Amino acid sequence: MHDPLQPLHAGLDRIAEWEARWPVFETDPSLALSAETMTEALQALAVRLEDNYPFFHPLYAGQMLKPPLALARYAYTLTMGINPNNHALDGGPATARLETEAVAQLARMFGFDNHLGHLTSSGTIANLEALWIARELHPDMGIAASEDSHYTHGRMADVLRMPCTKVPTDDLGRMRLDSLEALLAGGQIGTVVVTAGTTSIGAVDPIDRILPLARAHGVRVHVDSAYGGFYRLLAEGDRPAIDPAPWQAIAECDSIVIDPHKHGLQPYGCGCVLFRDPTVGRFYQHDSPYTYFTSDELHLGEISLECSRAGAAAAALWTTLRALPLQAQSGFGAVLRQTRQAALDWAGRLADSDLFDLVVPPALDIVTFFPRLATKTASAVSDASDRIFAALEARPEQPVYLAKLQVRPSLLAARYPDLVWDQPTMTVLRSCLMKPEHRAYVPFLHEAVEQAARDVRDTVPA
Ligand SMILES: *Cc1c(COP(=O)(O)O)cnc(C)c1O
């Protein structure tokens, strides 16, 4: 019989051979759990884990959540048995090298010729690190980030005690150039944070136009592509699947954050920060008395804010990139072409539907829409969105899981002048089509939301 875990077992056998090079020893009785005890505990866990949405399934099309690639999981499992710590070379020589190689591949994808970079436990920590370098380089200045940038930039700027100014966004959710220009003219901004793929709707700031503006004012540019970064691969070729200009400009920016644990098929605990100028490593200097004694190389621990980090995370990413390289047509590119196509397909159906309106055409793979009602108030649309959301989850067979989003008038007023803003924001439906399998599910998802919209309309008091 075909055993899908066979590659994992073969890998574990190989690790067991390595361990067998050392003398056998007895596990202490305090740690020697019986098979029954472990089975009982794991069964109890499995029962508790049922309290989850089915993130693995294409019917889950809500938040940015999905399990890692099976290969990434196996690679993590293999390595976790050894449990190397990538805080320094002596914590895990093999996985430290794997991290260096995997990070170099990410840097190359963005077009960085030189780089200094490493993995982090998350996008938030990676951004914190980039903002910290921003502050060290411009100690008396603040940062600018769009209104739709990730909420943690404001929080991390607080931690760093540097001012964070929010720049308004246009009707596609992108940073407004006129507002940015006026702000930069004030001379108080040291670094602009641009977003390549906002968390809410996947908008990509006009990085190609922001960059020359920033340079003219001597301002640095940090790219937060925690969510969208891997889409860089689709900005290539004669007929790119996304607008290539902002993505190609990233090569000239100063730092980048990308989350392999979002679109990189990795388990959580895998963010990444990249700097174009390797000499920023000078800011990390420290002298810990009890690590870093086996090599003269610059250790990962000397270029990271964090100390202990899972070597297994680096191993999982390296192994994934070996099997699915960062290529435009195959490997990761082939995965993202499916998710991008799923979003275009669904957006097309929603645009043609009498029952819905699109919030914006999707720039990446996040689709946002709201029910088209006779009563065009923000409160009525919000109420109907809530009901559709609930009706989809309550379907007796094949429930559909979407997410919700609060949008401001600035995003919709130009395209939908009839909307009456009787409250500050409006609730709309949001779907992150992050799984390539979503592509085949789009017709089903669309029919389900149309059905839910009809049902809700029938029950709404006239
Ligand atoms: C998810 C996200 C973050 C935060 O990353 P975490 O890994 O969740 O800490 C930052 N910026 C953007 C654009 C994101 O989508």
Residues with CB under 6 A from ligand 1: 122-124, 127, 150, 152, 195, 199, 224, 226-227, 259, 271
Q: What is the pLDDT of residue 312?
A: 98
Ligand 1 atom nearest to 198, measured from its CA = 13
From first to last of its 462 residues, what are the pLDDT tens digits of the chain? Answer: 689 999 999 999 999 999 999 999 999 999 999 999 999 999 999 999 999 999 999 999 999 999 999 999 999 999 999 999 999 888 899 999 999 999 999 999 999 999 999 999 999 999 999 999 999 999 999 999 999 999 999 999 999 999 999 999 999 999 999 999 999 999 999 999 999 999 999 999 999 999 999 999 999 999 999 999 999 999 998 888 899 999 999 999 999 999 999 999 999 999 999 999 999 988 887 665 555 444 445 667 778 899 999 999 999 999 999 999 999 999 999 999 999 999 999 999 999 999 999 999 999 999 999 999 999 999 999 999 999 999 999 999 999 999 999 999 999 999 999 999 999 999 999 999 999 999 999 999 999 999 999 999 877 555
Where in the chain is CATH 3.40.640.10? Answer: 79-323
* Cα of 293 from ligand 1 centre, angstroms: 34
Query: Quick one: angle between helices 438-459 and 332-352, nearest 10?
Result: 30
* CA separation for the pair 328, 335 (Å, rounded): 10
* CA separation for the pair 89, 349 (Å, rounded): 52
**Is the whole model's pTM more than 0.85, yes or no?**
yes
* CA separation for the pair 153, 135 (Å, rounded): 13
Q: What is the pLDDT of residue 301?
A: 74
Ligand 1 atom nearest to 149, measured from its CA = 13
* CA separation for the pair 392, 381 (Å, rounded): 16
* Cα of 197 from ligand 1 centre, angstroms: 10
Where in the chain is CATH 3.90.1150.170? Answer: 332-457
In words, the CATH class of domain 332-457 is: alpha beta
Ligand 1 atom nearest to 199, measured from its CA = 15
Ligand 1 atom nearest to 268, measured from its CA = 7
* Cα of 124 from ligand 1 centre, angstroms: 6
Please return the burial class of 462, using the count of CB atoms within 10 Å of its CB with bins 0-12, 13-18 and 19+: exposed
Q: What is the pLDDT of residue 302?
A: 75
Ligand 1 atom nearest to 124, measured from its CA = 9
* Cα of 151 from ligand 1 centre, angstroms: 9
Tell me which residue has its CA closest to atom 6 in ligand 1: 123
Mutation test residue for ligand 1: of 65, 119, 120, 124, the one with most atoms within 8 Å of CB: 124
* CA separation for the pair 332, 320 (Å, rounded): 10
* CA separation for the pair 17, 31 (Å, rounded): 22
In words, the CATH class of domain 79-323 is: alpha beta
* CA separation for the pair 342, 347 (Å, rounded): 8
Residue 119: strand, helix, or coil: strand
* Cα of 432 from ligand 1 centre, angstroms: 14
* CA separation for the pair 68, 260 (Å, rounded): 10
Please return the burial class of 238, using the count of CB atoms within 10 Å of its CB with bins 0-12, 13-18 and 19+: exposed
* Cα of 226 from ligand 1 centre, angstroms: 5
Q: What is the pLDDT of residue 393?
A: 98
* Cα of 266 from ligand 1 centre, angstroms: 14
> Closest by alpha carbon to 261, among 5, 82, 434?
434
Q: Are 100 and 295 in contact (CB under 8 A)?
A: no
* Cα of 426 from ligand 1 centre, angstroms: 23
Q: Count H helices and E strands in the chain, helices first.
A: 14, 11
Tell me which residue has its CA closest to atom 8 in ligand 1: 123
